[in-house]
Chain A
Amino acid sequence: MSDAPAACASPRTAASDSLDPDQAAAELAEALAGPELGCVLFFCSADYPLAALGAALERAFAPVTLAGCTTAGEITPAGYGRGCIVAIGFDRDDFAIACARVADLEAFALPQAQRLVDGLLADCRRRAPAVDARPFVLTLLDGLSSSEEQVLATLEAALGGIPSFGGSAGDDNRLNHTYVYADGGFHDASAVVVMITSRRPFEVFTTHHLRPRREKLVVTAVDRERRRVMELNAAPAAEEYARLVGRTVDELDADIFAHHPLAVRIGEAHYVRSIQRVDDEGGLHFYCAVENGIVLTAMRPAPMLEELSGVLDDLSRRLGPPALILGCDCFLRRLELEARGQADAASRLLAEARVVGFNTYGEQHQGQHINQTFTGVAIGSRG
């Protein structure tokens, strides 16, 4: 379904639901090709035979730079997709793009981050002589690596004032393996940092639709290495959470986690800490860092699409109609929409707003690892 418009405006977007790597790569290449094509970002289902897909994409696009990751669902030019691949092609006359991979997340300290950022900036400057181009950064992280917080905080320190956002790679809620793609192959326990500079107006944003309730849960026992909470309010965590949401522990699943999120409050803002699963010992595993003594506030969802469409309208008012919104959409949001029968309405809204991207296992915004949000960048049409 290479349904990208043939128009040569950059960035161009395309999707393919062919499960055959060669055919999918060929369809994308046909839609994105252009004499100025300088970089392709892609997001694909973890169901693809990844090694073959990577090779097919390299054959189809070389020497164009490729970066991407596996997903928990795709956002194609026509809205939500699943089991497919979506891609964005950036022309080099409008966008100077540089990529780097962090292969060792544990060892990623400030000196490494500084070198990486300096290299990206130099690379972009070499590709884009335009002095008034401004940069932003997209981060793609292995969503099961449990090291997002430190990597992001370190990277943020090196980025200084450069706006950044991103998403954690997914695997359709199987929680087995998630991968990022860079340097010609798929990698786990890795991060990809993509710096994009352009004279186009852009805005990095994040939003969620969750509002605080009265109830508070204090984390009283934690296994911070595994992002596991054993106790809430000095009771077994799963039991206490099940009591809060009025269910039994056996009933707890991703749908319930999506509808009944927990958040930490810092200042006036609430940051959702999403639950990943219940383990056999009655502990709750999270998608993000947890700590003993943190206070979790029970949250309730407000109408998600109303909220999202308001944010998209505001962006459009500030930047003019965007040429593209690259969106990192938490997969729990999509679960909630599907449970409410609103997935089609969401698809229409996303397609109209020219959103392309993927469903994540966590989002990143200005060095923060956040959950259950819609986070991305809107890129204006005018230079």
Chain B
Amino acid sequence: MDLGAEPPHIEPATEQERALAEENARLRRICGALIERVESAGMGGGAPYGAFEHAVLLAEQVRERTDSLHRTLEALEEARAEAEAANHSKTRFLAAVSHDLLQPLNAARLFASALEDQALPEDAGRQVGHIGRSLKDVEALLGTLVDISRLDAGVLTPDVAVFPVAELLDVLAEEYRQLAGARGLDLHYVPSGMVVSSDLALLARVVRNFLTNALRYTEHGRLLLGCRRRHDGLEILVGDTGPGIDAAQQQAIFLEFRRAVASPEDGDRGLGLGLAIVDRIATMLEHPLNLVSRPGQGALFSIRVPYGRPRDLPVAEAPPGPIDIAGMRVWVLDDDPAILEGMTALLDGWGCRVRCVATPAALEATSRRERADLLLVDYHLAPGDPDGICVAERLCRRHPELGVVVITANHDGELKQRARERGFDYLLKPVKPLRLRLLIANRREANGA
């Protein structure tokens, strides 16, 4: 059918044919108009209707794109929420795993300590020493992991007190002077008499971290430890003459598992977590961090700590001297046989008289027959048993002279508070033998007084 040609001329014979011919003519004209329209579609040109149609199509496109943008944003938000949830579950998992690992590590440390105290053939002694140091490294790493997970989970709350900064820095300077000396480096320490307000333990972690890094990355030259007085706080500085840090990397090194340069040290055991912790601690304490460095010219890390008022300083206690603890009677309550065995080995080595029990009932029975100077009690006992603090509390009613040390892998501040309120000492797992020995010595001194 040729739509462009004139319609064939037909002389309508009937009324019906006339109507059909007329309709045919109209349909051809409608068809022609539609063809014209279709063929000019999309040619906005300057035609008014074309402008309208164009505006409609444009608005429709805008609407579609806005919708798809919204969908994309929603998907992104969903992905972000998922990532956040995954991160939270990772944090919880890490905390749980670290906690579970601390338990056997605690036992291993106790055994190693006990072994070290024994007279062993030279080779065996050296190997035990290696085992002890390896365990200590594992413990430090695990501690770091626990700290990171606790910082991320927001359960760690700072314990801020006023103290002379020298109390912290003198010790660190002494410790790191020796370590630096062993590597042929010189540590220059400038003491300060200023008093600051901070969490001593957390701040120590930060400065220790600066020092460890400085030591690790510096091959020649010297380290610097000192303070600079700013109007809004004391800046504790750690400088080195190491390779320095590229400006582009200065932000990144505060993230987990990043290193500026591979450590020259063989068998490097760090996980690259150090500065990530520093960053989290500084954020929590609201102590600003600063880093000045240029590649090839060393680095200067610093943390700014608010000043404390000297009159807020606590009254100093005399440091405990080395005290013989042989003969101390110690009860140990723990539901883990490995721990009991390790404790026995350690305490025996110190000459203590140890009685180990695995249940509160057994302890109860023992306490009816004997007396003791000190109870070492695990906070988490077997399911169904009351917790260590409750057991100790009950026992103390009949044995008011009994000293109590609660041992736990739980870093919960509330637990620490509960123990303190009852006059109990408190040790975190893994138990550090020296800390334990100090506590026992304190007890002896208190009893002797």
Contact = CB atoms under 8 A, between A and B. Distances in A.
Contacts of A153: 44, 51-52, 54-55
Contacts of A368: 52, 55-56, 59
B76 interface: no
Contacts of B52: 149, 153, 271, 288-289, 368-369
Given A220-B29, A234-B30, A291 B37 contact: yes
A254 interface: no
A267 interface: yes
B25 interface: yes
B48 A289 contact: yes
B26 A235 contact: yes
B39 to A, nearest CB: 9
A54 to B, nearest CB: 30
Interface string B27-55: 10110111111101000101111111111
B416 to A, nearest CB: 47
Interface string B60-71: 101000000000
A156 B59 CA distance: 10
Contacts of B30: 218, 220, 233-234
A368 B62 CA distance: 13
Nearest to B37: A293
B58 A291 contact: no
A366 B55 contact: yes
Contact of B47 (A147, A156, A291, A367): A291
Contacts of A221: 33
Among A218, A290, A291, A294, which residue has the most Cβ atoms of chain B within 10 A? A291
B55 A292 contact: no
B48 A150 contact: yes
Given A153-B51, A234-B25, A235-B26, A292 B33 contact: yes
Contacts of B35: 293
B36 A293 contact: yes
Contact of A294 (B46, B49, B54, B56): B49
A129 interface: no
B55 A156 contact: yes
A293 B33 contact: yes
B49 A290 contact: yes
B313 interface: no
A266 B57 contact: yes
B35 to A, nearest CB: 7
B46 A291 contact: no
Nearest to B63: A366
Given A150-B51, A289-B51, A367 B36 contact: no
Interface string B205-229: 0000000000000000000000000
Contacts of B26: 233-235
Nearest to B36: A293
Interface string A212-251: 0000001111001001000101110000000000000000
A267 B56 CA distance: 9
Contacts of A369: 52, 55
A174 to B, nearest CB: 23
A101 to B, nearest CB: 21
A84 interface: no
B174 to A, nearest CB: 55
A149 B44 CA distance: 11
Contact of B46 (A150, A267, A295): A150
A295 to B, nearest CB: 8
Given A220-B33, A266-B53, A367 B59 contact: yes
A18 B47 CA distance: 43
A368 B47 CA distance: 14
A367 B58 contact: yes
Contacts of A156: 55, 58
A221 B52 CA distance: 19
B73 to A, nearest CB: 16
A42 to B, nearest CB: 28
Contacts of B59: 365-368
Nearest to A156: B55
Interface string A141-184: 00000110110110010000100000000000000000000000
Interface of A: 146-147, 149-150, 152-153, 156, 161, 218-221, 224, 227, 231, 233-235, 266-267, 269, 271, 288-295, 365-369
Query: Ordered nearest first, which 9 A-B pairs have the shortest CB separation?
Result: A293-B37, A289-B48, A291-B49, A234-B26, A234-B29, A153-B51, A367-B55, A289-B49, A149-B48
12 contacts: A149-B52, A150-B46, A156-B55, A218-B30, A218-B33, A231-B29, A234-B27, A288-B52, A289-B48, A289-B52, A291-B37, A292-B37
Interface of B: 25-27, 29-30, 32-38, 40, 44, 46-60, 62
Given A231-B29, A289-B47, 9 more contacts: A149-B52, A150-B46, A224-B49, A234-B26, A267-B56, A269-B56, A289-B52, A365-B59, A368-B56
